[in-house]
Amino acid sequence: MSAFNNKVCLVTGGTSGIGRRVSERLWEDGAQVIVFGRDVNKGEQMANSLGRGCHFMPCDVADPEQIARAFKDIEDTYGRLDCAFNNAGITAQYASVADSCPDNWQQVININVNGTYHCLRHELGLMLKTGEGGAIVNTSSCAGVMPIGGQVAYVASKQAINAMTQVASIEYAEGAGAGRPIRVNAVAPGPILGGMNSNERLKASPKNTQRKIDVTAMKRFGTADEVANAVLWLLSEQSTYVTGIVMPIDGGYAAGKF
């Protein structure tokens, strides 16, 4: 039997890059996949190409009311949630702290921090209601493990995601009441091809591209599949004694300075 047979799994930011690959892999493993994103064309195209078992729900995670409506829809349609991958996120404009733009700070915090927080709240609420436990993975970043300059909002947002992961993991590790445990972990990808590192972006700034390669011990970009391997493991029954970790998937970036 497939690992996620008939499990109801939510992927936020599932319309492109890492989130899209995780959605496809969950679907290939038998899950019923719900995808959140803002781009309705991309989302519907994706749901149509996968077909039965993939459900795109337009949802801007920066808007708590849209999130509340989408979760009501999930509850009405499926009555449960088994797994969630909170992956919707954006990078910050490149600038030192003094030169950074407060509007951009607010936008990054609204999507990366508040979006993850509100989704996490609803996911835990729904999982607690069924009492059958669950598994949640949040997307942090190698920059949330070892901060980088020029990205204050992004680094702060990813460190907040690490904190939310750890707090929620402690609170639900034993389950609540008669309910089964809910595990909460995070992945911290290094530079990954596609998505934020699309071919066009990499070609447009070769110096920056080389810098991203050089910060990894393996001297290469990772792939969305390499991140998906870790996410699916953390969501699966293979990792039942793992909760509260922020797992680097980064070609050795966080291993040390070299």
Ligand X SMILES: NC(=O)c1ccc[n+]([C@@H]2O[C@H](COP(=O)([O-])OP(=O)(O)OC[C@H]3O[C@@H](n4cnc5c(N)ncnc54)[C@H](OP(=O)(O)O)[C@@H]3O)[C@@H](O)[C@H]2O)c1
Is residue 185 at the binding interface for ligand X, with CB under 6 A as the rule?
no
C-alpha separations of 44 from 57, 115, 170, 192 in Å: 9, 21, 37, 25
Is residue 251 at the binding interface for ligand X, with CB under 6 A as the rule?
no
Only one of the segments 36-44, 67-75, 126-134, 229-237 lies at the binding site for ligand X (rule: CB under 6 A); that segment is 36-44
Give me the least distance between CB of 125 and ligand X, in Å please: 19
Nearer to ligand X, 90 or 146 (CB): 90
Backbone angles phi, psi at 151, to 5 degrees: -140, 50
Is residue 42 at the binding interface for ligand X, with CB under 6 A as the rule?
yes
C-alpha separations of 27 from 53, 75, 123, 133, 165 in Å: 7, 19, 19, 20, 25
Residue from the set 23, 114, 139, 151 that interacts with ligand X by CB under 6 A: 139
Known catalytic residue at 154 = yes
Give me the least distance between CB of 95 and ligand X, in Å please: 17
Residue from the set 62, 70, 155, 254 that interacts with ligand X by CB under 6 A: 62
Residue with tokens 């445990």, as numbered in its chain: 181
C-alpha separations of 47 from 28, 114, 191, 216 in Å: 13, 26, 27, 34
Residue from the set 9, 10, 15, 216 that interacts with ligand X by CB under 6 A: 15
Q: Which of 154, 172, 241, 253 is flagged as catalytic? A: 154
Type of residue at 96: S
Cα-Cα-Cα-Cα dihedral sign, residues 187, 190, 192, 195: positive
Is residue 192 at the binding interface for ligand X, with CB under 6 A as the rule?
yes
Is residue 248 at the binding interface for ligand X, with CB under 6 A as the rule?
no
Closest alpha carbon to 4 in 65, 53, 41, 52: 53
Residue from the set 137, 151, 155, 195 that interacts with ligand X by CB under 6 A: 195
Active-site residue set: 154
